[in-house]
Amino acid sequence: MKHLTWLSTLTAALLGWTAAAASGSPAPAAMQVENRAVPAVRALPTAPPNLPKWLSNTRRNHIFIRRGRYNFDVYRIDRLARDLNAVSVGHAMAYEDLVTGRAGGLETDTFARIDRVLKNPPRFMPDEAAISPTFARTYGVLEQVFDWTHILHAQTVDVLASADLTEKQKEREIERLWQYYFDTVPYAITPLPMNMDYLYTFPYSRKFRNTYPKVNGLFWGYHWLQGAMYDLLYRVSPQDQQAGYAVIGEQYRKVELYLTDRYFMPMFAEVSPAFASRFPHIANAFDNLHMLHDMVNDILATEWLNERQKAEQVKLAIWMVSAEAHRGEKPGSEAAERLHDHRHFVGMPGMGIMTGMSPELMWMPSMGWMNMSDCHHCSMPLWSGKDEWRNPTVSADGWSMRIRCPLCARDMSAETKGRALLRIPTEDPERVALVISDEQGNLKTSSPGLIFIESEDTHIGCDEWSRAFTSRAAFDAYVKATPKLAGARALTFGEWAVKEGHKPDTYVKPKGPVENPYSSIVGPDMGKATSKEGAQR
Amino acid sequence: MSRGTLLQLAVTAIALIALPAAAVDHNNIDARRPLSFDDADSLAYREQALEFGLGLGLTRRRALGIGMAAEYLYGYQMNSHLSVGLDPTFGGRARDRDTRFDLGAVSVGWLRNFNRQHGRTPAFALRADLLAPTGIGGRGVGFRLRGIATRQAGRYGRAHLNLDLNGNPGAGGGERDLHGAIVLGYSRPLGYPTRFATTGLAELSVRQGEDQGTGPGMGVGLGLRKQVGVLSVVDVGLQTDLVGWKGSPRDRVRFVVGYSRGF
């Protein structure tokens, strides 16, 4: 042992290295911010007593993805995979600059750095903690929550992008992934709809959006993509997924990333209503995750909070959206304490209530007031319950709407500007036809052999007289089983695509309590404005 | 082990390398991939990994030496992993004149991460390996204990301190039954803020001589780890023993190439 003497001397010297870590290393610049005067605003939310220990854990707690033959199948749609890789870089760069005293350059240097990556997305998913090491060691539990839910994001997309699994297998695996996500760790996000208005009315709320609109626009652009990709992939053939991402990806890269004046983050069900209605718990968890991102952004951007207050508020924000905070509570239930208000929109259990809205009426910037359980083209009730999958959707100009029949989908897309994606279910739940509308309204599809029925009448019955089929035989069987449609003509896709229906006789424009529920909060300076980078395109 | 078996192992290793890329992040550092230090992170819970390496060593006044390394790792619980490794060699080596094939010690290891880096506290881990006497002249079960600390160094870099205590209970005459080492490693992602797939590594090591009467040796190394698939990394490294005091045996230079794949 005496031979180790020299070694122990050297060891003692190097141990000073770790001790230096406790005293000599520079603190994150953000930690050096003085506690500035708190403006006269409402009081900060306070944490309940006895917060669970996991909120203060100092372990690494990395968990590997659930094994599956579908893992990384998102790379089948290579550009989508790369765009998602760039999203991780964008999140990490902004967070690192926020906590290292570089917030002043967020709208210039940081934005430019992120934008360069978004335009040249990396081939592989980067380790976010390596890009934002100071953020990761300052907010390690938050990083765990983000990472774990991002894994759910990534794996559900892998399942949907799989070319090997049937649609039934995909649905079963998505439920298994949810259980794996929910049961494995204590820091899962709640699957309940949350009152978004409540979560956006703290003293620090909107600070990031109002101070750093361009970088906030990027964040909300990422969240748009992370929502919109689901309906693009859900029940859509691998070939159509590729074609669809050409449209969705362009919308993301040219428009959605650079919008600087959204009133609120894109909600999952606003961009993927079909998936959200089938998996409302997952849609809610993703919205709640994205809301957590916004709350953290606002907290970190609030200069009158000191570092201790920021740490406390971040911890509290995690707690508010955690599954544990809402154990035993039910979707749809209203509570006097708004944190526990889990009402959702009628017909859309995958979306929590937002500012100035009620369960009956939802509002979207370019669409106005609407009822989420009715067709947005003819106002008749959408398919519901076990038949919910029969609702077509139309995606255009950044929004997606559920529609009652193929005619409504086609005609609604013709009324919108730019390209559109129409998801049209057939008689086979496993086959949704993806139809792409170009700038001029010309429709095309790569689904072969589609047959349509369109015996136009009052829209009270459009769910019967307007349908799509995978084959002539399926059409004939349907007509035979529906005597009132006897003699109806079978339309090829080409014949159907050039038709135009009458204005629906049943359409009623819902009227809300005010024109714009957000105008009193964020001012009237809204529209479809984009940052310079977006406008140049 | 026959040369045929060896060849088979090599072919298997190459076949695995040729699998569709799908392992392991370039920024996570395991010993020998490609340098001699570990970072304080364990494998993720339920993750498995295979790591292969091939090393060429030029030793003073010896024939060219070839070393291989294969290791299987399994994250058996949160923040901990187990490993099984094999280090066969043949050709010239620093400590003796024998150039026959040597299976080397079969090792079983355990790594436990105690904490992530938080605030100003480094991440700490302990690694323990048992070494079965399966190599030429092997006697008794050897062990290695390694204390690991990792902390942020600079904007993106990380510094890694490894303190080793190696035990050789079957040490023959003239050999030390305990000897230590210190390795100071540094890793830093290369290419930020436009590229995110490569990490550069450097190390400075001081090792006590394994033979009584010999002094310590000091070595340096440089390496690269590059992500080549979603879960796979290729690494290359160059190490040399700069100084060997009091007759400490040393390699002139070692070149290492490796591949890691997570699954």
Verify whether the Cβ–Cβ distance A75 to B163 is below 8 Å.
Answer: no
Q: Which residue in chain B is spatially nearest to A119 when comparing CA positions?
A: B194
Q: Which residues of A touch B158 (CB under 8 A)?
A: 133
Determine what percent of chain A is predicted with pLDDT higher than 70: 89
Could you tell me which CATH number the domain at B3-262 has? 2.40.160.40
pLDDT band at A39 (very low <50, low <70, confident <90, very high): low
- Fold held by A362-497: Beta-Lactamase (3.30.450)
How many beta-carbon pairs under 8 angstroms link A with B?
139
Verify whether the Cβ–Cβ distance B208 to A62 is below 8 Å.
Answer: no
- Write the DSSP symbol of residue B19: S
Average pLDDT over residues A467-481: 97
Of B121, B152, B182, the CB nearest to A11: B182
pTM > 0.90: no
A16: number of Cβ within 10 Å: 11
Verify whether the Cβ–Cβ distance A3 to B116 is below 8 Å.
Answer: no
User: How confident is the model over B17-57, as pLDDT tens digits?
Assistant: 333 323 368 999 999 999 999 999 999 999 999 999 999 98
Verify whether the Cβ–Cβ distance A124 to B227 is below 8 Å.
Answer: yes
Q: Which residues of B touch A60 (CB under 8 A)?
A: 41-42, 79, 113, 115-116, 123
Which amino acid is present at A456?
E
From residue A259, alpha-carbon distances to A87, A469, A523 in Å are: 16, 38, 16
Of B41, B78, B178, the CB nearest to A4: B178
Order of strands, edge to edge, in the sheet holding A491-492?
Answer: A466-469, A451-454, A491-492
User: How confident is the model over A306-328, as pLDDT tens digits?
Assistant: 999 999 999 999 999 999 999 99
A430: number of Cβ within 10 Å: 14
Of B42, B155, B197, the CB nearest to A124: B197
CA neighbor of A11 nearest in space, from B162, B126, B248: B162
More confident residue, B248 or A52: A52
Q: Which residues of A touch B216 (CB under 8 A)?
A: 6-7
pLDDT band at A523 (very low <50, low <70, confident <90, very high): low
Of B161, B227, B262, the CB nearest to A14: B161
From residue A304, alpha-carbon distances to A41, A207, B144, B180 in Å are: 11, 11, 51, 51
| pLDDT tops 50 at residue B164 | yes
Verify whether the Cβ–Cβ distance B79 to A125 is below 8 Å.
Answer: no
More confident residue, A486 or A33: A486
Query: Distance from A442 to chain B by nearest Cα, in Å?
Result: 39
Kindly write down the DSSP assignment for every residue of A317-384, as one continuous string: HHHHHBSGGGTT--TT---SSGGG---EETTEEEEE--TT--SS-EEETTTEEE-TTB-TTT-PBPP-
User: How confident is the model over A189-244, as pLDDT tens digits?
Assistant: 999 999 999 999 999 999 999 999 999 999 999 999 999 999 999 999 999 999 99
Spatial neighbors of B202 by CB under 8 A, at least 6 apart, are B35, B185, B186, B187, B220, B221, B222, B223
pLDDT band at B135 (very low <50, low <70, confident <90, very high): confident
Verify whether the Cβ–Cβ distance B194 to A125 is below 8 Å.
Answer: no
Q: Which residue in chain B is spatially nearest to A67 when comparing CA positions?
A: B263
Verify whether the Cβ–Cβ distance B78 to A113 is below 8 Å.
Answer: no
| B93 within 8 A of B120, measured Cβ to Cβ | no
Q: Which two three-digit tokens encode residue A536?
A: 């140049």
User: How confident is the model over A65-114, as pLDDT tens digits?
Assistant: 999 999 999 999 999 999 999 999 999 999 999 999 999 999 999 999 99
Verify whether the Cβ–Cβ distance A126 to B178 is below 8 Å.
Answer: no
B184: number of Cβ within 10 Å: 16
Of B41, B44, B161, the CB nearest to A63: B44
| A435 within 8 A of A406, measured Cβ to Cβ | no
Residue B65: predicted pLDDT:
86
Average pLDDT over residues B184-194: 95
CA pair distance A410, A496, nearest whole angstrom: 9
H/E stretch holding A395: strand A393-396
Which amino acid is present at B45?
Y
CA pair distance A527, A535, nearest whole angstrom: 13
Q: Which two three-digit tokens encode residue B261?
A: 């794949």
Residue B36: predicted pLDDT:
96
Interface mutation target, options B114, B116, B182, B203, chain A, most CBs of A under 10 Å: B116
Residue A531: predicted pLDDT:
59
From residue B80, alpha-carbon distances to A206, A495, B115, B161 in Å are: 41, 63, 11, 19
Tell me how many degrees the CA angle B181-B131-B102 measures, rounded to the nearest 5.
100
Of A18, A59, A125, the CB nearest to B122: A18
Average pLDDT over residues A129-147: 95
Of B75, B152, B196, the CB nearest to A89: B196
Give the phi and the psi of residue A397 in degrees, each rounded to 5: 55, 30
CA pair distance A1, A7, nearest whole angstrom: 10
Query: Distance from B28 to chain A by nearest Cα, in Å?
Result: 10
Determine the length of chain A: 537
CA neighbor of A8 nearest in space, from B120, B81, B165: B165
Q: Integer distance in angstroms from the first to the last C-alpha of chain B?
A: 28
Residue B139: predicted pLDDT:
81
Q: Which residue in chain B is spatially nearest to A85 when comparing CA positions?
A: B196
Query: Distance from A141 to chain B by nearest Cα, in Å?
Result: 10
Q: Which residues of A touch B189 (CB under 8 A)?
A: 130-131
CA neighbor of B185 nearest in space, from B165, B199, B204, B200: B204
Q: Which residue in chain B is spatially nearest to A27 when comparing CA positions?
A: B120
Q: Which residues of B touch A95 (CB under 8 A)?
A: none
Q: Would the CA dihedral through B21, B50, A128, A154 be positive or negative?
A: positive
CA atoms lying within 13 Å on the CB side of residue A94: 31
Give the phi and the psi of residue B104 in degrees, each rounded to 5: 75, -175
Residue A36: predicted pLDDT:
45
A410: number of Cβ within 10 Å: 29
> What is the domain partition of chain B in residue ranges?
3-262
Q: Which residues of A touch B179 (CB under 8 A)?
A: 3-4
Which amino acid is present at A44?
L
Q: Which residues of A touch B262 (CB under 8 A)?
A: 64
Verify whether the Cβ–Cβ distance A18 to B78 is below 8 Å.
Answer: no
Domain with CATH 3.30.450.410 in chain A: 362-497
- Write the DSSP symbol of residue B100: S
Verify whether the Cβ–Cβ distance A25 to B208 is below 8 Å.
Answer: no
Of A3, A120, A124, the CB nearest to B194: A120
Tell me how many degrees the CA angle A88-A219-A129 measures, rounded to the nearest 5.
30
| pLDDT tops 90 at residue A22 | no
Of A75, A123, A133, the CB nearest to B156: A133
Average pLDDT over residues A445-465: 96
Verify whether the Cβ–Cβ distance B152 to A134 is below 8 Å.
Answer: yes
Interface mutation target, options A2, A23, A60, chain B, most CBs of B under 10 Å: A60
Three-class SS of residue A444?
strand
Give the phi and the psi of residue B105 in degrees, each rounded to 5: -85, 135
Q: Which residues of A touch B155 (CB under 8 A)?
A: 100, 133
Q: Which residues of B touch A7 (CB under 8 A)?
A: 180-182, 206, 208, 216
H/E stretch holding A467: strand A466-469
Tell me how many degrees the CA angle A257-A263-A265 measures, rounded to the nearest 5.
55
User: How confident is the model over A122-133, as pLDDT tens digits?
Assistant: 999 999 999 999
Q: Would the CA dihedral through A125, A130, A133, A138 be positive or negative?
A: positive
More confident residue, A524 or A419: A419
Of B181, B216, B230, the CB nearest to A124: B230
Query: Distance from A375 to chain B by nearest Cα, in Å?
Result: 42
| B83 within 8 A of B108, measured Cβ to Cβ | yes
Three-class SS of residue A447?
coil
Lowest-pLDDT range of A28-42, A288-302, A400-414, A415-429: A28-42
Q: Mean pLDDT for chain A?
A: 90
CA neighbor of A459 nearest in space, from A391, A405, A506, A424: A506
Q: Which residues of A touch B227 (CB under 8 A)?
A: 124
User: How confident is the model over A335-370, as pLDDT tens digits?
Assistant: 999 999 999 999 999 999 999 999 999 999 888 999
Residue A7: predicted pLDDT:
47
Residue B183: predicted pLDDT:
98
Q: Which residues of A touch B233 (CB under 8 A)?
A: none
Residue A88: predicted pLDDT:
93
Q: Would the CA dihedral through B18, B21, B22, B27 be positive or negative?
A: positive
Spatial neighbors of B57 by CB under 8 A, at least 6 apart, are B64, B65, B66, B67, B91, B92, B93, B94, B251, B253, B254, B255
Interface mutation target, options B120, B190, B194, B234, chain A, most CBs of A under 10 Å: B120
CA pair distance B146, B163, nearest whole angstrom: 5
Maximum Cα interatomic distance, chain B, rounded to a whole number of Å? 56
CA neighbor of A371 nearest in space, from A342, A404, A398: A404
pLDDT band at B209 (very low <50, low <70, confident <90, very high): confident
CA pair distance B146, B166, nearest whole angstrom: 9
CA pair distance A19, B157, nearest whole angstrom: 18
